[in-house]
Amino acid sequence: MTTTTSPAGTTATEPPVTAPPFLERFRVPGAFLLGAVLLLGIAPLVLSDFRLNLLAKYLCYAVVAVGVSLAWGRGGLLVLGQGVFFGLGGYAMAMHLKLADAAVTGQTLPDFMQLYGTGDALPWWWKPFADPAFAALAATVLLPMAVATLLGFFVFRRRVKGAYFAILSQALAAAFAVWLVGQQATTGGTNGLTDIQGFFGYDLDDPVNQRMVYLIVAGVLLLLMAAARQLFVSRYGELLVAVRDSEERVRFLGYNPANVKLVAYVVAAGMAGLAGALFVPAVGIISPALIGIVPSIGFVIGAAVGGRASLLGAVLGAVAVAWTQSTLSDAYPAAWTYLQGLLFVVAVGFLPGGLASLVTVLRRKRRTTHDPVTGGAA
Amino acid sequence: MSGEGLTVRGLRVTFDGFTAVDGVDLDIRPGDLRFLIGPNGAGKTTLVDAVTGLVRASGSVRFGGEELLGRPVHRIARLGIGRTFQTATVFEELTVLQNLDIAAGAGRGPLTMLRRRKGVPEEVTRALETTGLTALRDRPAGVLAHGQKQWLEIGMLLVKDVRLLLLDEPVAGMSHDEREATGRLLRRISEDRTVVVIEHDMDFMRSFAHSVSVLHAGKVLSEGSVTEVQADARVQEVYLGRASEPEPAAVPVTEEA
């Protein structure tokens, strides 16, 4: 690489990509509007009740992926334990819905407690979940965020990072699932909380109400994507990328990188919690098998395949991977786990930007063959 | 500006029984352009690490009346002390402008942080001009030439209104023209700030230093103006093992471990 003193005579390696200003200005809102029309308008019209319900489930995974894109894609935090927060949100919602279901039939205890429980009294920590406001907002979103704050505070302050952070997150997801399995009498154990009938007074067996749940999920996804997009382009988003690139350097500029990472981690946890809460009415169940190690890895694979640093890439990747999973695991149940692992390795190892970066990578490759000079410098 | 100089007393840094810095005293006046020179392993970088909080040290380091030892890195940075590293560390995936904006931003409130950057802050504009990077402000820092990355790093200290700059081998690997430009930049900067430069390049030191401290085996061997230090027999001993003027060719230019 040649070096010059005059700023004007620098070696140009990246010719600026100039899109027409009009298109550039409306690219993002336009894409957002298109997404809204597709999700809220066209999908409910063309998809059967069954397919729409499946899509609602995939979109819940996409909501998790929005958080993963922020924490991992922008912040470099490989969050391999999002199952914990997804589970907290899911269980909080399911506990409330089970209590509400029981109340409809005049019972004080959810059905599984009558089968496996030890007494007639509701465990004290179930009681607050009877309150809809507490369950819907505080417990599904704020509880995962509070847990993430506590965890992140210690983990980031101790400067745990990279693979150690990933392993720690993973271990937590495993521990949480194991704990839930052990509490048969109060959490439903391996079965989880199943057979959920109503959603804030609406019967979930009614297809109309299922469509409403789908619309809520899709709406939440769009809102969170807009919020994440704002974080990405804000000064905080720039700082987060800086922390990912060189944490030490950020520290020497007078920031505490632990706090910068904490914000991304906590926001991602809140999104995972909300996704878990929406998953329950959409699918009708939450169980340890849905939040342990394998699903926790599943949450990041979609983002990895689609492109973790790109919001749209992560969301589409999550939906595509979830769709592939349910299609393939019906036909070849054993093969899916291998394919999942393979996808992860290939995406992280050979295409770190995911499918979203494919265009850029190909374009760069073509330029390299055309122009060996800039190719050598890049 | 009085009372803002750097005062180091009895500074000692030990790694597993090896004493890298062994009782260093330094007085650097405000507005000085001080060069720290010395053979490999003399403890120059470790000294800067200790001042900026990167390694644990005993003794006392005071700047502007504040004791620095024992404070975490980011708090020392907020006192107006900035440093660069031997290898330029800029945020390669962010543009020059974003790099400078982040550097300027420590202490911004949460509301400002959550909003998009509108326009260019004044201190960033000034730093772009001082470092001559205005035309490159929208380039990703990763594509800058080596010398430009070093200037960007210095610019990232300037935007914070840093009062003490500690630069670790800023001209290593630079072309002759880049060295000259860097030297002039350091001179401009030191007009209203204190600058400490670790350097192996003797020509560069002779051209631009106001004062020089020679470190050897963790101790200050000699201190004074360029001429005084060059005339010091002990310095010649350390550098050449014989009594003659140090020549650039005989000076080790390899990176310090």
ipTM of the complex: 0.75
Number of domains in chain A: 1
B37 within 8 A of B199, measured Cβ to Cβ:
yes
A179: containing domain? 46-291
A98 within 8 A of A193, measured Cβ to Cβ:
yes
- In chain B, which residue's Cα lies nearest the Cα of A74? B93
**A213 located within any domain:** yes
B162 chain-A contacts, CB cut-off 8 A: none
- Chain B closest-CA separation from residue A6 CA (Å): 8
B175 chain-A contacts, CB cut-off 8 A: 3, 5
**A127 located within any domain:** yes
C-beta neighbour count of A323 within 10 angstroms: 16
Lateral strand order in the sheet of B219-224 = B81-83, B164-168, B194-198, B33-37, B211-216, B219-224
**A247 located within any domain:** yes
**Lowest-pLDDT range, A302-311, A346-355, B137-146?**
A346-355
Interchain proximity B90–A249, CB inside 8 Å: yes
pLDDT in tens, A321-346: 899 888 887 778 778 878 888 888 88
- Chain A closest-CA separation from residue B188 CA (Å): 17
Q: What is the mean pLDDT of each run of 10 residues along chain B (257 residues)?
A: 75 89 90 89 90 92 90 88 83 92 84 84 90 91 90 90 90 88 91 90 88 90 88 81 47 45
**A182 located within any domain:** yes
**A160 located within any domain:** yes
Interchain proximity B147–A3, CB inside 8 Å: yes
**A74 located within any domain:** yes
**A52 located within any domain:** yes
Average pLDDT, rounded, for chain A: 84
pLDDT in tens, A183-220: 888 888 888 888 888 888 888 888 888 999 999 999 99
A253 chain-B contacts, CB cut-off 8 A: 74, 77, 82, 102-103, 106, 156, 160
DSSP summary character for residue B153: H
- Helix A207-233 with A235-245: angle, nearest 10 deg: 70
Vertex A157: Cα angle to A155 and A163 (nearest 5): 45
The per-residue pLDDT for A346 is 85
Q: How many pairs of residues across A and B have Cβ atoms under 8 Å apart?
A: 112
Terminal CA-CA length for chain A: 10
B166 chain-A contacts, CB cut-off 8 A: none
Domains of chain B: 6-246 (3.40.50.300)
**A362 located within any domain:** no
